[in-house]
Amino acid sequence: MKPITPFEPVTSDSIPIGDWRYEIKWDGTRIVTYHSDAKTRLFNRKHHERTYHYPELTNITQYCKADSVIFDGEVIALAEDGRPSFHEVMRRDMIKRIERVKDTREKVPITYMVFDILFYNGDWLINRSLSERLDILGNIVIPNENVQLVSAHTDGNALFKVIQQQGMEGIICKQLNSTYTLNGKDERWRKVKNYGDIIAVIGGFTLRGGVVNALLLGQYDADGKLWYIGHAGTGKLTKADWRNLTDVLRPDVINEKPFTNKPDRNNDAFWVKPHHTVKVQYSEWRWKERRSLRQPSIQAFIDVPAVECKLPWI
C-alpha cells in the first residue's frame, strides 16, 4: 500500500452544534498504520516512515482483529504533569539513529490514539460515514497499554471548557455523516484551538553565559523572503536542550541577518542560516497588522523543511 495523505480539519473560531462528534485534540504526531500480508508499516502525514520509531505498534495482532487495515491516529507521549507533550513525542519521532529507539522507548513511552479506519479486509471505507467507520473500528480494535480508541464527547462546549482548564491544545469537531477525503481538508472536520501554534524558522539567537537563551523566529512570504515574527526564550526545552541547541546553531552563524524586516532583538543577536525549524505555541498573533507573536513558547524541534514555513497572509 502506498502512503496516503490524511484528511485534515480546518481551523474554526466556534464550536458547531448538531450531529457532531467532539474529541480532544491530542498534542502528538499524526501516524497512519498500514497492515497487509502480515506486514505492518507506519507513516506520518508527510509520508516519512516511522515503523522502526514505534515498535510497540508493529505487532498489530496484539490490538487488531483484521487481515488488512489502514488506521488513522495520533501518537502521543505524556509529560511529567500527565498531559500530552509534543516535545516528549518528538524525542521519539526525531530519532535519526534507529539503534537509539530501544533506550528512548523506556524513557518516553507512547500511546497510539486511533480515531479512524480507512481500509478493512480488502475494502476501502472512505466513502462510508464516520459513524459507520467508527462502528467497525470499535469492533476490531482491542485497546492495550499502547493503543487506545479516541473517545467521543456529546457536548463540545463543555469539553472545550475542560480543555481550557487543563491548558491543553483544543478539540476536534467531526460531522457524524462525514466521509473521508484523502488529501482533503474541509469544514466537515474542524479544530477549535485553546491557543495557536505554528512551525517557524530559526533565523537568529541570543546568548546568556555562552548558551542560547532565546530564538529569533521567522516565516517566508510568497517571494521567498524571511520575515521576523517574534522571539521565544521559554517553552519545554530543558537546560540540556538549550546547550545542545547552542552546539547545533554555532556552526551556522552568518554575518548578515536573514530577515527582511528588523527584529526587536537586533543589537545583541547572532544570525544563522535559516535551516532549522521549531513548533511554537502562542497566545495571540495579530498577523493582519503584521504584529509579532504574543507570548510565544518553544514546544519542540521538528523535521519540516524551512521553505514550507509560510506566512498566513500569503
So where are the chain's domains? 8-193, 196-308
Percent helix, strand and coil across the chain, each to the nearest 5: 20, 40, 40
Instruction: Kindly indicate the confidence band of residue 24, based on its pLDDT and cuts at 50, 70 and 90.
Output: very high
Residue 82 is classified by DSSP as: S
- Per residue in 36-46, pLDDT (tens digit) is 988 999 999 99
Task: Give the CATH fold of the 196-308 domain.
Answer: OB fold (Dihydrolipoamide Acetyltransferase, E2P) (2.40.50)
Residue 241 is classified by DSSP as: H
Q: Which of 87-101, 140-154, 202-216, 284-298 has the lowest mean pLDDT?
A: 284-298
How confident is the model over 12-16, as a mean pLDDT?
93
Strand partners of residue 86: none
- Per residue in 200-253, pLDDT (tens digit) is 999 999 999 999 999 999 999 999 999 999 999 988 888 999 999 999 999 999
Instruction: Kindly indicate the confidence band of residue 284, based on its pLDDT and cuts at 50, 70 and 90.
Output: confident
The two most distant CA atoms of the chain are separated, in Å, by: 62
Strand partners of residue 272: 253
Q: Which three cell numbers stand for residue 79?
A: 509529560
Question: CATH assignment of 8-193, given 3.40.50.970, 3.30.470.30, 3.40.190.180, 3.40.1440.10?
Answer: 3.30.470.30
